[in-house]
Structure 1
């Protein structure tokens, strides 16, 4: 006897999207969350009394307007504090560059302005195709059904419709590294540095690494609908709260403090879960929004899967090179070249592509970059509720950082914090005098606090051999996990990470279609 039709593990954004879609289709659904709040890696944390920062994800970029409408998230409390923010490349001499929707401004040549507009046009065109692919399960290349063959035919047709020049350029650059692409097209070191950072953020790559043209495309998927960067009012927890409200309105039961210890699989089919307190829950199927390595290794156990599946799981690349820097500030720091009205925008430290590559070098050897790239938000500028009156918070995504440096983080943490504040001070000279409290979250911290293997915010590295019908591995690429009764719906599934909700939406569609076929 089952307790519900579907058990969803994890109340991250993909788990909640999947649960809501299934409940809206008439299924009884329960979401099990080990923590005490929804949102997964999109939550707030308090670093000092009254100072709220985004714990991991800090921008809303790829949650499409269509999905927001489908889930009625605005009716359930989602509010944006700022939309279509400008990305500003910082410079120690004050000569900044700003990027927004195909336009670049600042001290830059007309040739670079035209070249950026052309690159934006081409990437937007390709991303409209990628977005179409992202909204459906990836097609099988071999032994696919009719719908797979039609999907592949549709892909081929749309590639042809791009035009011969654009298609040739796409095929020429698809496997290239972003460093060479940018060297070909631009003169400005700062513009090249900013685009290099866009390509490698969240990855274990440098701009000279293969596949980074593809990761640039994937990171800027919002260009497909002309979007940029938005900030959620109330911090990133506002997204999780809205999704949880939408789920409950659809009839989903949310259960917090319910850590799943293992999957129940008495035979060849998953039939439910066992919680850490010993409680057993049964369901017609179980959907995991946690990363696939944890799902297979810890919750299921590799002994229960076929040898080839176990081998595939062990080969998934999940190295993270991403950390967070959080500061509570007594007031707004002065950034060289910026006025106060610009401090609520997205600020980037990536002065040139060689700087970005040098920041990647230490992590190859188990170290961290003392001069890293940074993606900086001062969210309290647009949303004063995040800090006490007249005070502010700063949150920065820091690239590249080893998960396990020599001697461990217990010996490196304070030095890394000091190094990164020194790096920030090159662009905001008075930053130290404003600091009330500070912390860093290393990849190891992200792993422990957000329960994701390796601390990787995409769950599985984004690269051409780990996307589409190979994400997270071929037998589990269409959300059905290759184990009867078990499905995947997290960022480790197609189309990948960022806050899109599409893996959850696609997984729900797959489950409903498979039910009809059975």
Structure 2
């Protein structure tokens, strides 16, 4: 058994996904000596851009809608090469300190793959170069309905009265999401032991609520735990728009639009932003792997060392505090601070072990609901498909098949019993239209997130995969006639596949259901809600932490700031 010099590293980060990189870079910029340990052959997790068929590349996470401005600012991601559709990348020098070993190093094969995925550019990220992807509610019988700008700043394809009703509801939803936004971007308050800063932030939230006025405040409290379907029915008439809202509120969750509290999912979306636009989504050049590439460069420039193919087998606990880690091969690496960017169940049940934590906490961690309900489909197509009613610009948007709120609810019903709907709902992008480098000339990549695909399928995914793929293709054929004849290769990732590929228990991209009882002070569980944990020296910074999943970087940034606050 070998061991690294205990004095070499101050911080070990387990997991090289986006939150792990954000935490590592932030801590390294403060002068800490940081080592990131990634089990896979390259960093990025579900956000890396991967080849799924010869010449065809795509990211499992295919849209960016939550990358927080503070993360962009802290890591200087603009300087490190993040660009969006509509910006032409130009070469620039690699960050200083890049090498094959020591601080500031990364394995050569990881660096090369990411450099190819996202050429460095010095173009300004927030300076007007972002191309927002419009949300298009597809229709079989008529014209599609399209939301442009920051989640429906303008609405096309609906009646004048529906447009007016939407603008009124949108303004209301944005006001209410704005009340919750500070709670979703800061460390959750410790109600029993709040610091002065936390007390001040909590007070500001209350003040913002009071400023709404009596009628708005009453409506905010009334709507807070409502379902999205009832809210949409109160304000809107167009089934296409109501179906889109229902889909967006429940995407990635084991909820239907008529489930209590489902409106919270829409608030969560609207609390995120891109380029200052609430709820907007954008397509990075090079896919989501380009975001990871810019974060990698930021970490390198800050002096972070990254080791890939370094699977952690155990977190070493000595005298009731974390003291280091042991890798699968037996190598021990010691540090005073351990930061876990992986799933909380893996962290505590597998790496720490139940003997090191009390039974009550073990029970709470075991009871986190994290069985995924979404699958991912990748299609390599001979040419771009043609969706009915869409022009060329429309095909570059985010296309949603969710004809009505009732249709989304009916699609959810079988998932309650371990089955999938014969008419699944889905979100589709054609990323190679905006970034031709993702597919051979003249061909096309189709990427779709498909609800509802229960993790524990009653018939088992070995038997059910072909039937589910057939159901998905049948739905696509209704909206893009002839698409089936264009398919060169199809890759369907069920929640079980996502679990295996990305070491993500349950195949849930939030690392735990994002519902009212698993948010804020209850995320991931009481006793580990503020990034620090019952094990001294061990911190969490993954999607299972507050505020949840999506490529925001907020858990990583908040965890790093918490460590700096505690360590000084």
TM bucket normalised to smaller: over 0.9
Greater strand percent: which structure?
1
**Which residue of the partner structure matches residue 22 of structure 1?**
27
Match of 1:108 among 141, 151, 158: 158
Match of 1:226 among 277, 301, 307: 277
Q: 2 CA distance for matches of 1:60 and 1:481? A: 30
Matched, 1:248 2:313: no
**Which residue of the partner structure matches residue 15 of structure 2?**
10
Deviation at residue 99 of structure 1 after TM alignment: 0.9
Please list, as runs of the form range in 1=range in 2, the aligned pairs for 1:431-446 lying within 5 A after superposition.
431-446=483-498
- TM-score for the superposition, normalised by structure 2: 0.88
CA displacement, residues 146-191 of structure 1 (integer Å, 9 cap, x when unaligned): 3333332222112112222222111010011111111111101111
| Alpha-carbon contact 2:382-2:486 (below 8 Å) kept | yes
Q: 2 CA distance for matches of 1:19 and 1:142? A: 29
Q: 2 CA distance for matches of 1:95 and 1:103? A: 19
Larger deviation, residues 111-120 vs 183-192: 111-120
**Which residue of the partner structure matches residue 157 of structure 1?**
207
Q: 1 CA distance for matches of 2:269 and 2:197? A: 28
| Alpha-carbon contact 1:347-1:377 (below 8 Å) kept | yes
Q: 2 CA distance for matches of 1:96 and 1:121? A: 23
**Which residue of the partner structure matches residue 76 of structure 1?**
80
Larger deviation, residues 24-33 vs 404-413: 404-413
Please list, as runs of the form range in 1=range in 2, the aligned pairs for 1:104-183 lying within 5 A after superposition.
104-183=154-233
**Which residue of the partner structure matches residue 144 of structure 2?**
96
Q: 2 CA distance for matches of 1:454 and 1:437? A: 26
SS at match of 2:355: helix
Q: Runs (4+) of structure 1 moved beyond 6 Å?
A: none
SS at match of 1:381: helix
Larger deviation, residues 489-498 vs 505-514: 489-498
Q: 2 CA distance for matches of 1:128 and 1:155? A: 9
SS at match of 2:479: coil
Match of 2:473 among 406, 418, 421: 421
SS at match of 2:283: strand
SS at match of 1:487: strand
| Alpha-carbon contact 1:263-1:274 (below 8 Å) kept | yes
Matched, 1:213 2:263: yes
Match of 1:191 among 238, 241, 250: 241
Please list, as runs of the form range in 1=range in 2, the aligned pairs for 1:390-409 lying within 5 A after superposition.
390-409=442-461
**Which residue of the partner structure matches residue 352 of structure 2?**
300
Match of 1:318 among 329, 353, 370: 370
Deviation at residue 104 of structure 1 after TM alignment: 4.7
Name the count of aligned residue pairs.
Answer: 515
Deviation at residue 325 of structure 1 after TM alignment: 0.8
Consecutive unaligned residues in structure 2, runs of 5 or more: 1-5, 87-130
CA displacement, residues 118-161 of structure 1 (integer Å, 9 cap, x when unaligned): 22212222333333223321112224343333332222112112
Q: 2 CA distance for matches of 1:379 and 1:64? A: 22
Deviation at residue 320 of structure 1 after TM alignment: 1.0
Q: 2 CA distance for matches of 1:31 and 1:94? A: 51
Larger deviation, residues 486-495 vs 335-344: 335-344
Matched, 1:340 2:392: yes
Consecutive unaligned residues in structure 1, runs of 5 or more: none
Q: 2 CA distance for matches of 1:515 and 1:64? A: 25
Please list, as runs of the form range in 1=range in 2, the aligned pairs for 1:498-513 lying within 5 A after superposition.
498-513=550-565
**Which residue of the partner structure matches residue 463 of structure 2?**
411
Larger deviation, residues 70-79 vs 206-215: 70-79
Match of 2:341 among 284, 289, 304: 289
Deviation at residue 198 of structure 1 after TM alignment: 0.5
Q: 1 CA distance for matches of 2:523 and 2:562? A: 15
Match of 1:37 among 24, 36, 42: 42
Q: 2 CA distance for matches of 1:95 and 1:50? A: 34
Larger deviation, residues 310-319 vs 69-78: 69-78
Q: 2 CA distance for matches of 1:93 and 1:336? A: 9
- TM-score for the superposition, normalised by structure 1: 0.97
| Alpha-carbon contact 1:103-1:116 (below 8 Å) kept | no
Deviation at residue 415 of structure 1 after TM alignment: 1.6
Q: 2 CA distance for matches of 1:155 and 1:325? A: 40
Q: 2 CA distance for matches of 1:515 and 1:104? A: 47
Q: 2 CA distance for matches of 1:328 and 1:26? A: 45
Larger deviation, residues 221-230 vs 277-286: 221-230
| Alpha-carbon contact 1:24-1:250 (below 8 Å) kept | yes
| Alpha-carbon contact 1:321-1:400 (below 8 Å) kept | yes
Deviation at residue 223 of structure 1 after TM alignment: 5.4
CA displacement, residues 428-456 of structure 1 (integer Å, 9 cap, x when unaligned): 01101111110100000001101111111
Matched, 1:63 2:67: yes
